[in-house]
Structure 1
Amino acid sequence: MRLTLRTNLAARVLMFCGVNRDETVRSAQIAEATNASGNHLSQVIHQLQQMGYVETRRGRGGGLSLARDPGAISIGAMFRDFEANVPFTECFDPDNNNCPLSDTCRLNGYIKGALSAFYAELDKVTLQDLIHDNCGLIDLLSLYPEPAAGTCQAAQVRA
């Protein structure tokens, strides 16, 4: 199984915005920190904005930020939003299914069950779960790498 690049980039954007949730961030900052193409990232940010995950502001001082609390962003729902138009296998796409086994194949039922289990597991995860006390992620994505009082970095230094 492989996720589309758009879904992968959407997760990166949300994690970057989550780590820097008190800031308005720019797509160039996200691209640099996440090793992503600026062009691809712009398309993904536009989709995230249309789906209500981020808010965008144009002009001087513009950028983007989370539109919802990280605890209210389901990773399973976001994956479904981005993967919904991409059939997992040919037989799941009625318009382009050329498989002669479709009417008698039992594999597609097992694949559907596996995909349901996959999404059920991701439905348990929020953006907050991915970023809270994740010092490694915070170190990589924070706009301000200096430890601030109360962050997990500062807590690790004191420990």
Structure 2
Amino acid sequence: MRLTSFTDFGLRALMRMASEPERAFSTAELADEFELSRHHLTKIMATLAQAGIVLTRRGGGGGARLGRPAGQISLGDIVRVLESDQALVNCFAADGGSCSISPQCRLKARLGSAEAAFLAELDRSTLADVALPPLAAAPISAP
């Protein structure tokens, strides 16, 4: 199974946020740290906020912070949210996709089981398990 860059970038940002859960992170700060498009990361944060995984606040002192403790956010939940519009294969699409062999297909059920097993494995780990170490403060140089 291959995750989209949308999910990859979202996981990276959340791993950083989990390293300092009391702090709000700006999208610009996270985008700069991971060398990502700010516009793309803004869309990711909006998706995570809509799902309640992060809370966002605009303005001075604003930014994004985790919506609940990192130990209560499973990796499976994150992937489900960020991959919600990405079907594993065409026939898994919300509209049923298009498949010329669907009446006799014996692959779909196996792929569905494999996807469920993948997510179940991710459900066994939380964001706290993969949090990045906090960034060290830059040393203050003597005058």
TM-score scaled by length of structure 1: 0.79
How far off its partner does 1:3 sit? Answer: 1.1
Structure 1's unaligned 5+ residue stretches are 132-136, 147-159
1:103 match: secondary structure: helix
Write out per-residue CA displacement over residues 57-116 of structure 1, whole angstroms, 9 at most, x where no aligned residue.
Answer: 211121111111010011101111222222111121263633211111111111111111
Could you say which residue in structure 2 is the equivalent of 1:103?
103
CA contact (8 A) 2:26 2:64 kept: yes
Number of matched pairs: 139
TM superposition outliers: structure 1 runs of 4+ over 3 Å: none
Q: 1:112 to 1:54 in 2, by over 3 A?
A: same
CA contact (8 A) 2:55 2:67 kept: yes
Q: 1:60 to 1:51 in 2, by over 3 A?
A: same
CA contact (8 A) 2:48 2:81 kept: no
Q: What is the correspondence of 1:1-150 to structure 2 with a 5 Å cutoff? A: 1-93=1-93, 95=95, 97-131=97-131, 137-138=132-133, 142=135, 144=137
Q: 1:103 to 1:8 in 2, by over 3 A?
A: same
1:116 match: secondary structure: helix
Sequence identity of aligned pairs in percent?
A: 37
In 2, distance between residues paired with 1:8 and 1:126?
15
What amino acid is the match of 2:18? G
Structure 2's unaligned 5+ residue stretches are none
TM-score scaled by length of structure 2: 0.88
